[in-house]
Amino acid sequence: MYKRMPLFITLLMVLSLIFSACTPQTTPTTAPEVEEEVEETEAVVTEEAQPPAETEEATTEPTEEMPTEETDDQVIVTVSHRAASVWVRNFNPFAPDPINETLDMIYEPLIVWNPTLGGEPTPWMATGYEYSDDLLTLTFTLQEGVQWSDGEDFNADDVVYTFNLMKENPELDRGGVNALVDTVEKVDDFTVDFNLIDVYSLAHIQIGKVNPVPEHVWVEVDDPVTFTNPDPISTGPFNVVARFEDQVYELCKNENYWQEGPFVDCLRYPAYPGNEQSQLALVNGEIDWAGHFIPDIDTTYVAADPDNFNYFFWPGGSVIQLYTNTSKPPFDDVEFRRALSAAIDYDSVVDIGMYGYTIKGNPVGLSPAFDTWVNEEAVARAEEMGLNEYNPELAAQILDEAGYVDADGDDWRDMPDGSPIEFEIQVVNGWTDWVTSVQIMTQSFQDVGLNATMVTPEFGDWLNNLQTGSYDASIGWSTAGVSPWEFYYQLMHTSFLVDDFANGQLWHRWTSPEADELIDSFTATADTEEQANILDQLQMFYVENVVAIPLFPGPTWYEYNTTRVTGFPTAEDYYTQGSPWREPNSRILVALNLRPVE
């Protein structure tokens, strides 16, 4: 009989409703050797983003400095999706952390990517793109009739200038475009050729995400790296900085916007230092559009106004996984990893650890955003192997057959050579949904005789442990991205392991020359059937080698209040990701669809 250590799950559920949680998503990077960006949010992970900090204690309540009523017949939409004590006026789209809406609402991208349609492109400042037969030249055609907010025409000169500016100042290249593009040439006023360094059939994604700036303005800037661009000249739908204070800023509509809309007058962004303040504002009806984690949301938010307070946590974010360090035993044994997968109580992880806000992960690792790419043969193979299904009896059987038995009678399993098995599972301190999930997994492993314990380092130590291989097992995010290829690239390509330092999500340290070859071959072709075949093989590699253990897709936090404004994505009509997060860049589709309630 193996030992069982009580978890006091009921108590944890109560405590976890008190604190905020965090489920990170990451900003995808397809360009080689580009450091992954993690995007910031309130108390939970949001936008593609940065891992959240712990929830701060409340210090103030919303004040009269943050009005929510329109004035002079204006319709102002109040938005909240990241924590801040004060706002700093910086509208430089190349800055590491500018005012968040600098991208999309002020400076628009060439292409908008819709994650709910599997990363489908929506032409924006560009009308389209096309590769040459040899895949070494990518041609973008641009919108005609678009003007910058000072009346100057937008054209190919601005696009060429923007990319050359990033070449001359590599610090501005946040998306890794320089690693892909050799030269940029103007063909005519509305056509631009990008000459690629090597064949890379996903170059349109990285290039399409770039937000052009006006040449006639930026050529006069002495230092584009430090320039804060306090009064931006741009083309976006909300590019008028009508108000900017430490505690609130307002972006009002571009009266000469080149597309239909906007239909509301302004977007207002109050500064809330922590999740408690933003939740209070939500419940008070002071926020119209939000991207926050809220525990027990039906009781704490929806019940306050069931007719108007809504949410939809689309499970289309990056898949959260259990990583094991395959450079050390017993995690170097695929049978041991297989047993771990079978031992996990996935329903409890989802329903208790994640409050029922998401679903169990697909055994091939892809999020629901890429359901059309899933290889059903790989899913069937996972079922044959007993992966991603709670089956403690099978887990015990696998361990027994692999020689991991109790050799010394202390009720814990040992290595085949008789040495003890003791391992730690790390999770970031304060990320309470993940902490509860790891506690559940720890208990699951103990139930089958594995001496597992949980440790809670601070975020910096947690990430450093993953990157340096100074850990046993860990919960962690993956890459969502515009293409399903990005998930396997960041997770499995050997190029991310440099001098024993793991970038991307190669934290598990499992590598394969065959997997590398498949990953490289995907971007060497533009043939969709060939790419689908490659993805099928990568999914089988992922499953049969138990590269990581997918737990659940990260929910995309999204709340909306229809008291004064309508046009939000709903569960019935989820036309794009509803969260007002920066990544992906589809929030502009929502902003342009908002309308006053008649």
Looking at residue 58, its pLDDT comes to 32
User: pTM score, two decimals?
Assistant: 0.82
pLDDT score recorded for residue 16 = 38
CB within 8 Å of 520: residues ≥ 6 apart: none
> Rounded to an integer, what distance in angstroms lies between the CA atom of residue 20 and that of residue 276?
8
- Look up residue 414 and give its two tokens: 């040992």
Q: What is the pLDDT along the chain (598 residues), one digit of tens a residue?
A: 454 444 433 333 333 333 334 443 333 333 333 333 333 333 333 333 333 333 333 333 333 333 444 556 889 999 999 888 999 999 999 998 899 999 999 999 999 999 988 889 999 999 999 999 999 999 999 999 999 999 999 999 999 999 999 999 999 998 889 999 999 999 999 999 999 999 999 999 999 999 999 999 999 999 999 999 999 999 999 999 999 999 999 999 999 999 999 999 999 999 998 888 999 999 999 999 999 989 899 999 999 999 999 999 999 989 999 999 999 999 999 999 999 999 999 999 999 999 999 999 999 999 999 999 999 999 999 999 999 999 999 999 999 999 999 999 999 999 999 999 999 999 999 888 999 999 999 999 999 999 999 999 999 999 999 999 999 999 999 998 899 999 999 999 999 998 999 989 999 999 999 999 999 999 999 999 999 999 999 999 999 999 999 999 999 999 999 999 999 999 999 999 999 998 889 999 999 999 999 8
- Measured from the Cβ of residue 74, the count of other Cβ atoms closer than 10 Å reads 15
In this prediction, residue 28 carries a pLDDT of 32
Say if residue 338 is exposed, middle or buried (CB neighbours under 10 Å; 0-12, 13-18, 19+).
buried
Model pLDDT, residue 72: 60
Which string of b and e fits 98-115 if b means at least 16 CB within 10 Å?
bbbbbbbbbbbbbbbbbb
Q: What pLDDT was estimated at residue 34?
A: 34
The number of CA neighbours under 13 Å toward the Cβ of 40 is: 14
pLDDT at position 119 is 85
- Cα dihedral 391→395→400→402 (10° resolution): 140
Contact criterion met (CB below 8 Å) for 431 and 21: yes
Residue type, position 227, single letter: F
Within 421-526, residue ranges assigned H as helices are 432-447, 459-468, 485-492, 513-522
Q: How far apart are CA 76 and CA 65, in angstroms?
A: 15
Residues 6+ apart with CB under 8 A from 222: none
**What is the pLDDT, as a whole number, of residue 431?**
87
Write out the two tokens for 149: 């907010």
Rounded Cα distance between 560 and 537, Å, is 40
Domains parsed from the chain with CATH numbers? 9-19+317-553 (3.10.105.10), 126-218 (3.90.76.10)
Sheet with 126-131, side-by-side order of all strands: 126-131, 137-142, 191-196, 181-188
C-alpha 578/C-alpha 415 separation (Å) is 48
Give residue 70's pLDDT. 54
- Summarised one tens digit per residue, pLDDT across range 121-154 is 999 999 999 999 999 999 999 999 999 999 999 9
Contact 563, 573 (CB under 8 A): no
